[in-house]
Amino acid sequence: MKLKKAFLILGMVLVAISCATNPFTGKKTMALVPNSQLFPTSFAQYNQFLSENKVVTGTSEAAMVTRVGQRIAVAAERYLNANGHQGYLNDYKWEYNLVEDKTVNAWCMPGGKIVVYTGILPIAKNETGLAAIMGHEVAHALANHGQQRMSAGMLQQLGAVAGNIAIQDEKSRNAFNQYYGVGSTVGVMLPFSRAHETEADNIGVYLMAIAGYNPTEAAELWKRMKANSGGQAPPEILSTHPSNDSRIANLEAIAPKAIAEAKKFGITSFRE
């Protein structure tokens, strides 16, 4: 029991001393892996990925990815500076690449390294659709979601170790391992991930609006995403992402707020 308490106290101490603040929500977030360690690793992994995949250059689509990425990055800096977070992006090394791959995906690594797959461009449909996609992915990086997921995973593992040490009976320990894995995933990790996706949707819509792209198009993008999926998706409770219908409803609700926010930055009309 003493050892179990020691693990619990250690976990609490780690969380208490390893916190960051989300600049968009003001909430404290877990940061067991500091950005000073996370960013260099991220940059190295990004460079390795580019070396192993076909990067598209010299095309109008590649130019569009760079253009949208730069505008989203400028919008992020304008928002952060206006809300008292000057210097927040000092360690970010923005890079935007289009990669030839049929996968319907895009991502932004911690520190601002972005990849858009060619497979998602038909669903993006146009530059505004791409802005909705890239705004969402950049939002994950800005809100330190990768850092939080790593921290949560470390605490999940710590809980498993503590349980295995504390439970002496082998049968009880096996039962713990079986139920802890499922329970902590379905009850904690998956809701944690879904919350990140919704938060990235919300932040991303604000960023695209401040960048001059119509935020009402974000919901239209997800209608196309839904159609592309053919309705094939796990139940929301078992998914890392909210359902398409939940996302569409949320994006429709937040678009007017994003338009109002963009007006604070002098954006009163949007690019076609």
Active site residues: 137
Return the DSSP state at 186: I
**Which three-class secondary structure state does DSSP give residue 97?**
strand
258: Cβ contacts below 8 Å, ≥ 6 apart: 205, 206, 208, 209, 215
User: Which residues, in sequence order, are CB contacts of 104 under 8 Å at separation 6+?
Assistant: 117, 119, 120, 123, 225, 228
For the chain, the first-to-last Cα distance in angstroms comes to: 64
Q: Which of 72, 172, 149 is nearest to 112 (CA)?
A: 72
